[in-house]
Amino acid sequence: MSGTKLQHCTIERDSDGIAWVTLDVQGEAANSLSTEVLKELEAALDELDSGDRPKGIVFQSGKSGFIAGANVQELGAIENATEADALIERGQRVMDRIEAMTAPTVALIRGFCLGGGLELALACRYRVADRDPSTRLGLPEVRLGIHPGFGGTVRLPDLIGAPAALDLMLSGRTLEGRAAQRMGLVDFALSPWQLVDATRDLIRRDPGRHRPKWWQRLAGTLPGRYALKPIMQRQVKQSARAEHYPAPYAMLDLWVRHGGESAPSRIKAERTSLTRLIDGPTAGNLIRVFLLQDRLKREARSSDVVVPNRVHVIGAGTMGGDIAAWLALNGCRVTLFDEHDKAVASTLKRARSLFQKRLKRPERVTAALDRLTPDPRNRGVEGADIIIEAIVENLDAKQGLFRSLEPRMREDAILATNTSSLPLEQLAEGLQQPGRLIGLHFFNPVAKMPLVEIVAGEHSDATNLDRGQALIASADKLPLRVKSAPGFLVNRVLMPYMIRAAELYAKGTQRESLDEAAKRFGMPMGPLELADAVGLDVCVAAVDVMAEPLGLEVPASMRSMVDNGTLGRKSGRGFYVYDNKGKPDRGRISLEPAELDRLGQDLIKPLLDEAERTRDEGIVADGDLVDAGTIFGTGFAPFTGGPLHYREQHSGQRG
């Protein structure tokens, strides 16, 4: 073999004349296509074009993943349309050159192959992927408020047909190798030990690029495009409002309008459309949210600690049971204790359906179930690295429990509470080592809510907090450090907003209009339907905790609803009345759009005010984390970039 070594990639030619281009970006955990890396790929292509022409070219990665996509950091730093256009133009040029290679080109894909990474693979004549579930392929750009820009919107429909391509790009979902093969996205999905043989064979045979079936091509014709447009548009509308999330609409528009043109002009149209998106506000905010998410994960990882693995959960109610199941799903060895065997058994049933949904293959479901050990005699205490308590919210009960646990626990074991309302300082009273108590505040439903608050009490030991944070990050959740103060961050910013909604409702504002106003603003759910889903009793209890210190008050109307047993969806009646299938009796919205917009601002104001106060009081380390916690903990409109960011961007319009 002879080779050339550049900074981020190497080119090796083997005795068959095949050039193996191995990308390994220096100083990064994953390969991404920054301007610098793109420049180097151009240099690599120059090298391949000069001298002895290779018989085949293989693109592969020197890391555990292929290419994770464009460099989001760099995208976030783009200041104007000119910069955006320059980056896209460079990326497109590299992909065009790869496509134009005379020798057969193969992308050999192991691990993540996303965004720009998949676009590079699409520019190759062939794609070979590892069939291991850790290999994921997709174009998730839409989640950043943009769409593919290195020729993906052109080459993907050409390869697999427009319906499948649009579905992938609009949803942003990712595929395993085998699913990608069924679709024609990769030529082979194989066991890792077959990949190189398959690659060589494809280069030798050079059978030609995959083409969609005739009926798949039909969709790309002019009548096909116009027939599909309304169907696709309806689909997109269900998940995103055009005024909040323009990217999917732009993508659809691009295809309908330019789908019939020549490849170069479609690629040019892609660039124009993407430049416009990057220049708009949504993309910038969603990229900000992505980077915030990255920060939460990174901060947990950077702490140099042993990640707890043996977890003992006490209390198999909805929260305790779901926490136990989630941790077992994500690789922890979990024991679950509850005085009531039935609670443990019903947790196991829920866990099984969660595991089946997430893991699919029966052997993986069994392995996850085997990691979740029902522990009716509470024996998991001694061996646990961390004990998570999720029993009834009662100070005496919890204190008593902790006192009985502590002598049995390992010296270095952590004690964690899922309390949402009791101060850690009081809970730690009576502990020999109060430093071992931390808060791990999960949200309901555990499997859906990405955030977990890591609550630092006055005495909480820093190492224990780091370890709790690392556990949460390793279990695929976003940990956020918060100070032990009433309501922590999430409930504190959420409750004033819900109280405001209840007050307006009590004063006669229509409930449907209230919920619609919040959704128009960008909330995933209206405040009243959210209160019904959470349970009015839970809301009232949460507010009561904060009432005194924060000067909040539960509206009398809401308290009397709770007293009457009107608790929300679980009791069949809350702000709405639910039929036996759980469907609310939702009526027509009575307010006009302009009124709804004003109402939305009115509703959201208490949330924004409270967010500012939490920042000023240092509940979390800085304002960015207030935004992160509010978005990931409450679902607060991600396209705004968070409550503080939103207020800052709109400060000129205030008053």
Partner 1 sequence: MARSGNASPKNRTRPVYIVDGSRTPFLKFRGKPNAFSAADMGVAAGRQLLLRMPFEPDALDQVIFGCAGPAADEANIARIIALRLGCGNRVPAWSVQRNCGSGMQALDCGLHDIQAGRSELVLAGGTEAMSRAPLLFDPRFVEWLADFNRAKTALAKAKQLGRLRPGMLKPVVALLKGLTDPVSGMSMGQTAENIAWRFGITRNEMDQYACRSHQRLAQAQDDDLLTELEPLHGPDGRAYDMDDGVRRESTVDDLGRLKPVFEKPYGKVTAGNSAQVTDGACAVMLASEEAVEKHGLPVLARIVDSEWAGLDPAQMGLGPVHAVTPMLRRHRFALGSIDYWELNEAFAAQVLACTAAWRDRSYCREQLGLSKPWGDIDPDRLNVDGGGISLGHPVGTSGARITLHLAHVLRRFGGRRGVATQCIGGGQGGAMLIENPEASA
Q: Which is nearer to partner 1, 377 or 448 (CB)?
A: 377
User: Least distance in Å: CB of 364 to partner 1?
Assistant: 12
Rg (CA), the chain: 27
User: Least distance in Å: CB of 379 to partner 1?
Assistant: 5
- The residues in 379-418 that bind partner 1, with binding defined as CB under 8 A, are 379-380, 382-383
Q: Which two tokens stand for residue 566?
A: 């009107």
Q: Which is nearer to partner 1, 356 or 649 (CB)?
A: 356
* Contact window for partner 1 (CB under 8 A) among 114-122, 375-383, 397-405, 612-620: 375-383
Binds partner 1 (CB under 8 A): choice among 260, 376, 450, 572: 376
Q: Is 378 among the catalytic positions?
A: no
At residue 344, φ and ψ (nearest 5 deg) are: -65, -45
What's the per-residue H, E or C state across 471-483? HHHHCCCEEEEEE
Q: Is 308 in the site for partner 1 (CB under 8 A)?
A: no
Binds partner 1 (CB under 8 A): choice among 293, 330, 373, 649: 373
- The distance of Cα 512 from the centroid of its chain, to the nearest Å, equals 29
Q: Which is nearer to partner 1, 220 or 374 (CB)?
A: 374
Question: Cis omega (within 30 of 0) on the bond before 308?
Answer: no
Please identify which of the residues 61, 420, 474, 513 carries the catalytic annotation: 420
**β-pair partners for 573:** 568, 577
Contact 76, 284 (CB under 8 A): yes
Number of Cβ atoms within 10 Å of the Cβ of 499: 20
Q: Is 420 among the catalytic positions?
A: yes
Q: Which is nearer to partner 1, 276 or 364 (CB)?
A: 364
Pairing type for strands 126-130 and 451-456 reads unpaired
Contacts of 214 (CB under 8 A, 6+ apart): none
Cα distance between residue 476 and residue 326, in whole Å: 9
Say which amino acid occupies 142.
V
Number of Cβ atoms within 10 Å of the Cβ of 618: 10
Q: Is 491 among the catalytic positions?
A: yes
Contact 428, 399 (CB under 8 A): no
Q: Is 309 in the site for partner 1 (CB under 8 A)?
A: no
Cα distance between residue 562 and residue 8, in whole Å: 62
Q: Is 444 in the site for partner 1 (CB under 8 A)?
A: no
Which run of H or of E encompasses 26? none
Q: Which is nearer to partner 1, 280 or 376 (CB)?
A: 376
User: Least distance in Å: CB of 63 to partner 1?
Assistant: 26
User: Least distance in Å: CB of 337 to partner 1?
Assistant: 11
Cα distance between residue 87 and residue 149, in whole Å: 10
3-state secondary structure of 11: strand
* Contact window for partner 1 (CB under 8 A) among 222-230, 365-373, 483-491, 492-500: 365-373
* Contact window for partner 1 (CB under 8 A) among 299-307, 377-385, 390-398, 618-626: 377-385
Binds partner 1 (CB under 8 A): choice among 40, 375, 453, 512: 375
Contact 57, 101 (CB under 8 A): yes
- Alpha helices (H) along 475-580: 490-506, 511-521, 527-534, 536-550, 556-563
Q: Is 370 in the site for partner 1 (CB under 8 A)?
A: yes
* Contact window for partner 1 (CB under 8 A) among 119-127, 166-174, 363-371, 527-535: 363-371
3-state secondary structure of 2: strand
Query: Which of 640, 634, 440 lies closest to 533 in space, CA to CA?
Result: 634
Contact 192, 161 (CB under 8 A): no
Instruction: Give the position of tokens 């759910």.
Output: 525
- The residues in 323-362 that bind partner 1, with binding defined as CB under 8 A, are 333, 335, 341-342, 344-346, 348-349, 352
Q: Which is nearer to partner 1, 62 or 383 (CB)?
A: 383
Cα distance between residue 579 and residue 558, in whole Å: 21
DSSP 405-474: HGGGS-TT-EEEE--SSS-HHHHTTT-S-GGGEEEEE--SSTTT--EEEEEE-SS--HHHHHHHHHHHHH
User: Least distance in Å: CB of 650 to partner 1?
Assistant: 50
Q: Which is nearer to partner 1, 382 or 412 (CB)?
A: 382
Q: Which is nearer to partner 1, 294 or 370 (CB)?
A: 370
**β-pair partners for 568:** 573
* Contact window for partner 1 (CB under 8 A) among 132-140, 202-210, 371-379, 626-634: 371-379
Q: Which is nearer to partner 1, 352 or 586 (CB)?
A: 352
Please identify which of the residues 491, 512, 529, 610 carries the catalytic annotation: 491
Binds partner 1 (CB under 8 A): choice among 2, 366, 557, 560: 366
User: Least distance in Å: CB of 358 to partner 1?
Assistant: 16
3-state secondary structure of 124: coil
Q: Output the CA torsion sign for 164, 169, 173, 177.
A: positive
Q: Is 374 in the site for partner 1 (CB under 8 A)?
A: yes
Q: Which is nearer to partner 1, 251 or 384 (CB)?
A: 384
**β-pair partners for 482:** 455
Contact 555, 503 (CB under 8 A): yes
User: Least distance in Å: CB of 385 to partner 1?
Assistant: 12
Q: Is 394 among the catalytic positions?
A: no
Cα distance between residue 78 and residue 146, in whole Å: 13
Please identify which of the residues 147, 258, 312, 441 carries the catalytic annotation: 441
User: Least distance in Å: CB of 413 to partner 1?
Assistant: 14
User: Least distance in Å: CB of 343 to partner 1?
Assistant: 9
User: Least distance in Å: CB of 390 to partner 1?
Assistant: 18
Please identify which of the residues 141, 453, 516, 529 carries the catalytic annotation: 453
* Contact window for partner 1 (CB under 8 A) among 144-152, 372-380, 428-436, 552-560: 372-380
3-state secondary structure of 556: helix
Q: Is 225 in the site for partner 1 (CB under 8 A)?
A: no
Binding positions for partner 1, rule: CB under 8 A: 333, 335, 341-342, 344-346, 348-349, 352, 366-367, 369-371, 373-377, 379-380, 382-383
User: Which positions are annotated as active-site residues?
Assistant: 420, 441, 453, 491
